[in-house]
Amino acid sequence: MRTRFELADAVNMFGAGLLTKGKLNPIQLKVLGKIAICRTAALGVHQEACDNCGTVRYSYNSCGDRHCPKCQAAKQAFWIDDLMQSTLPIKHYHIVFTVPHHLNAVCLHNQRMYYKLLFSAVWSVLRSLGYSQFGVESGAVAVLYTWGQNFSLHPHIHCIIALGRSMPSG
């Protein structure tokens, strides 16, 4: 069931207030602009027709930005389903690695280096933990998030790590 309002409506309604605070970087401004027109007439419309009954439905086009929660919801659901199908039937940990906020200036200065170092540190910790605690090489699925829920710069990595013991059946 579709809602009466789109995310673009909320951005258009409250975005000006956010902009007056002046704390958005150029990338955030660009994404906010895309979200503001996502699934609105500004991006055009496409037609879908049912092969069986002939019902025609018109839908506004999406912005397709990777930061837009509406555009990425289906991709995220498929990715999670594929991931769950390919994981071993054992318990997993969810661990989040983050750094102090005062290092955000370094991230803004050189994002490529910052994220490379962040991933390197995460893998180093996971590798040493696996060897020291379990005597095995550990593995993980790691996903980089660059923003917090409030659109602030907050680089962190979420990891799903196999526990290494079988789950009890039943």
- Is residue 55 located within the same domain as residue 112? no
- Is residue 51 located within the same domain as residue 92? no
Q: What is the pLDDT of residues 51-104, one digit of tens each?
A: 999 899 988 888 888 778 778 777 777 877 888 788 777 788 888 999 898 888
pTM over the 0.85 mark: no
- Is residue 91 located within the same domain as residue 150? yes
* 72 inside domain: no
127 near 133, Cβ under 8 Å? Answer: no
- Is residue 110 located within the same domain as residue 47? no
* 121 inside domain: yes
- Is residue 107 located within the same domain as residue 48? no
* 20 inside domain: yes
Identify the band that residue 164 occupies on the pLDDT scale cut at 50, 70 and 90.
Answer: low
Q: Which residue type, as a one-letter code, is found at position 112?
A: R
How many domains, in total, are found in the chain?
2
* 71 inside domain: no
- Is residue 56 located within the same domain as residue 91? no
Q: Range of 93's domain?
A: 87-166
